[in-house]
Structures are given as structure tokens and as C-alpha cells.
Amino acid sequence: MIVANERNWRYRLFNTVNATLLAVISAAMVLPFLYVVLISFATDKEVLSNSFLLVPTRFSLEGYRYIFSTPVLLHSLGVTVGVTVVGTLVNLFMTVLTAYPLAHKELMARRPLMMLITFTMIFNAGIVPTFLIVKSLHLTNTFGALIIPSAISAFNLIVVKNFFQQLPDGLEESAKIDGASDPGILMRIVIPLSMPVIATFSLFYAVGHWNTFLSAILYINDSDKWPIQVLLRQIVILSEIGLSDMSDSPPPPSKIINMAVIVFSTAPILVFYPFLQKYFAKGVLLGSVKG
């Protein structure tokens, strides 16, 4: 009966229509990237002669040669790599260090502290007062401004705290009996047991740093210290920066340059993405489980 039902044409039609629609939607989410990559390798002749060009027939590195003719882009990428590595380490250190004590029920002042931390998720002082504080701490125009004011995400902190809380109490008790101190327990027992969670949150923090834009335009005036996203906006959206000081050859069409810059600044995320996907998905679900 079931088999007969499943074989009927309506069942098949449903499947085909559904799968086709899904394939179209998924393609719509990936094809723009493919287009960007393809155009970044196009020749100027082809782009200039055919503005509806979708798939270049000839391959060229003109765009990339041009954007690397000055060190501006590489320098900016270096800033972003540095801020991402150091920033993520600071995030992890601060988040784990703060979450661990808060996971202890016997800690005095735990409830008021948790309430104060939660309150920062509900009420935000806004960018101007925060800007004035960062400025008064002399952090503006330093890389510290991109790292320290966002050292802890309250939401991530709470999720990590909840994860620590549901580790079995016995582990810590027996370690205490063996004479281990709290930092020792955190380092040797809690962190090794929490590696999947820590991996997930390092990824979230790292992507956040890589894509950081708002704090850079708030706190960094010095174009020497711009992370890649700010430079990207200047080039692609505002068309304000020429990358080359070579005056002897005309630059390739801005379309090729823009695409090459986008590829260059997004590739690191897209290259790692397939390997990290499952951690990300896990992280979303971790956040939705309340403890």
C-alpha cells in the first residue's frame, strides 16, 4: 500500500518540483561568488567590449597583478590577519576565564553578576558613549580599539558558562580532593572537555574579526591601520582609492579590479568554510539550548 502510494506520479512530481526549486535557490546563493571569481580573471578587452560578460573566454591575471602592484592591499590584509589572530585569542581567553567562575553555583554574587551581564544584551548604551570611553582610554587609532572593546560577547559568554555548568560535578570534586587548584582544573580538565565548544566559538569570533567594519570606521582614522573591509569599501563601493602608482600603463577596468579585491579578501573564509561548516551549525544549536 505504502509502496504503491509512493510510486504514484503526484509523489514524484512533488519531489521533482521541490528539488528543482531548491537547486535554483542554492545556485542563486553561490553563483554571485562564482561570477565574481570568473570576472576577476577576465581580460580588459573582453570586459570593455562586452558588458554583459558572464563567463570570460580568456584567462588573465591583470587584475591581480594590478592590485598587488602596491603594498596597500597586502598591508591591509596583514592588519586583518593580525587583528583576527590576536583578537580571537583575547576573546577566547576572556570568555573562558569569565565563564568558568560564573559556572560555579556556590560563587557569591553570582546571580547579580549574571543579571548585570544579561542586562548588557538588553540595553545598549550606543556607539557615541562607547566611542567617548574608547577615546578617553587612548585606544583610538590603535589595533587595541579593534580588539579590546569587543573582548567578550555576552551571548557567547552565557552559552560557554552553560556548557561548563553541565559538565559532571564529580570531575571537579575529585580533582579538588587530589589537591588541584581552580586554574589547574580549568586548564587540565574543563578546557580539554570543552574543545568542541571552544572550537566553535573561536570560529565565530574569528569570522567576526575578519569581517569587522563598524569598529574600524569608528576608531581608526589612520589609513595605515585600516583592516581589509574598510579598504574594500573605499575601492569597491566608493571607488576612491587608486591602488597603483604605476603611471606608464593604464589600469584595467575597475570591474576587474573590484572583483579581484573581493576575491582576495573573501577567499580565506571561503577556503576554510567547507571544513568548518559543521562546527558553525553546532554553534547555532548550542546557543538555542538554555541551561
Q: How far is the CB of 68 from another protein (least distance, A)?
A: 19
Q: How far is the CB of 174 from another protein (least distance, A)?
A: 17
Choose between 124 and 247: whose C-beta lies nearer to another protein.
124
| Cell numbers given for 51 | 558588458
| Cell numbers given for 64 | 591581480
Q: How far is the CB of 139 from another protein (least distance, A)?
A: 10
Q: Where are the alpha helices (DSSP H) in 148-193?
A: 154-165, 169-177, 182-185, 191-193
What DSSP letter does each residue of the chain carry, written as one string?
-HHHHHHSHHHHHHHHHHHHHHHHHHHHHHHHHHHHHHHHT--HHHHHH-TT-SS-SS---HHHHHHTSSTHHHHHHHHHHHHHHHHHHHHHHHHHHHHHHHT-TT-TTHHHHHHHHHHHHH----HHHHHHHHHHTT-TTSTHHHHGGGS--HHHHHHHHHHHHTS-HHHHHHHHHTT--HHHHIIIIIHHHTHHHHHHHHHHHHHHHHT--HHHHHH---GGG--HHHHHIIIIIS---------SSPPPPHHHHHHHHHHHHHHHHHHHHHHHHHHHHHHHHHHH---
CA–CA separation, 141 vs 227, rounded Å? 12
Choose between 187 and 246: whose C-beta lies nearer to another protein.
187
Q: How far is the CB of 248 from another protein (least distance, A)?
A: 26
Choose between 60 and 218: whose C-beta lies nearer to another protein.
218
Q: How far is the CB of 59 from another protein (least distance, A)?
A: 20
Choose between 109 and 245: whose C-beta lies nearer to another protein.
109
Place of cell 544579561: 118
Q: How far is the CB of 122 from another protein (least distance, A)?
A: 5
Choose between 52 and 59: whose C-beta lies nearer to another protein.
52
Choose between 20 and 246: whose C-beta lies nearer to another protein.
20
Q: How far is the CB of 58 from another protein (least distance, A)?
A: 18
CA–CA separation, 26 vs 33, rounded Å? 12
Choose between 52 and 245: whose C-beta lies nearer to another protein.
52
Q: How far is the CB of 26 from another protein (least distance, A)?
A: 4
Choose between 125 and 246: whose C-beta lies nearer to another protein.
125
